[in-house]
Amino acid sequence: MGLDITVLGLDWAELERTPAAERQDLLYEAACPEDAAWDAEPAVGWVLPASPKVPWSGRYEFRCTNGSYKPHFWAAEGWDTAREFAGPALRESLDGFLFHLIGEGDDLPESGLFPADATPWKPRLLLACPPALVPGIAAHWARAEPLLEGLREEYDRHAADPGGRIEDFDAFTVLLREWAVVVDETARRGWGLLGLPV
C-alpha cells in the first residue's frame, strides 16, 4: 500500500472564509464524500461538485492512476531524466507546467491553510496552487503541448521504464494531458488546486 493523491479544484475565497480548524474536515469530505455510492462505477474526470456539502469544489479522478501517487512521482522522475534531451522551449515550458503539480516534493511551501500540527503523521498536502498560479501553469502547458511530440524518441530511449508505472512516452503524455484538463478547468473557474494524500 502506498501514498494516494486526490486532486481538488476549489474556490479559494470560500476555503479561506472557512474557519481554519474546519478546513481539513471539509477538504476530506470533498475528497471522500460521506454519501458516496461505493458500489457505483468509479468516476473518471471531473466530479462537480466534489460533494454536495462542498458545492464550491470539484474532484478530478485520473483515469490512469487508480488514485495512486506513484505514477505522478514516476512521471516527474521520467521528466528529470528526459529533460536534458528536450529543446529549450519545451524544457522551459514543461518545467513550468510540472513544477507546481508534481515536481516540488518535499519542497512544498507551507500553505497556511491548516493549523500547525507538531506531530503530523503524514503530509497535509501534496500540491497547493492558489488561483494566482493556475493561469500561468495553464500557459506553460499551452506552449509545451505543441512541442511535446518532438520528445518521443529521446524519452523512450532514455526515460522509458517497461513494466513500470510510466512505461513509455505514451504513458507519460497521457498523464500530462490529464493534468492539462485539471489545470485548464481550474483556471477557467478561477479556482485553486490542492492535492491531498488520500
pTM recorded for the entire structure: 0.90
User: Could you tell me the pLDDT band of residue 135, with boundaries at 50, 70 and 90?
Assistant: very high
| Mean pLDDT across 4-19 | 95
User: Could you tell me the pLDDT band of residue 125, with boundaries at 50, 70 and 90?
Assistant: confident
At 66 the pLDDT is: 85
193 grid coordinates: 488546486
Long-range contacts at 153-161 (CB < 8 A, ≥ 24 apart):
154/82, 154/85, 154/86, 155/78, 155/82, 155/85, 158/81, 158/82, 158/85, 159/77, 159/78, 159/79, 159/81, 159/82, 160/78, 161/74, 161/78
- Asked if 5 and 47 touch (Cβ cutoff 8 Å), the reply is no
- How confident is the model over 48-83, as pLDDT tens digits? 999 999 999 999 999 988 889 999 999 999 999 999
CA distances to 26, 27, 29, 153, 185 from 22, in Å: 6, 9, 11, 49, 26
- Unique residue bearing C-alpha cell 483556471: 187
Cα 8 to Cα 195: distance, rounded to the nearest angstrom = 6
4 grid coordinates: 494516494
Cα 134 to Cα 81: distance, rounded to the nearest angstrom = 25
Reply yes or no: is the peptide bond before residue 49 cis, omega within 30 of 0. Answer: yes
Is residue 197 helix, strand or coil? coil
Cα 84 to Cα 80: distance, rounded to the nearest angstrom = 8
**DSSP for 84-132?**
GGS-HHHHHHHHHHHHHHHS-GGGPPP-S-S---SS-SS-S-SEEE-TT
- How confident is the model over 22-44, as pLDDT tens digits? 998 999 999 999 876 545 666 88
CA distances to 12, 54, 55, 59, 128 from 191, in Å: 6, 14, 13, 12, 12
The pLDDT > 70 percentage for the chain reads 85
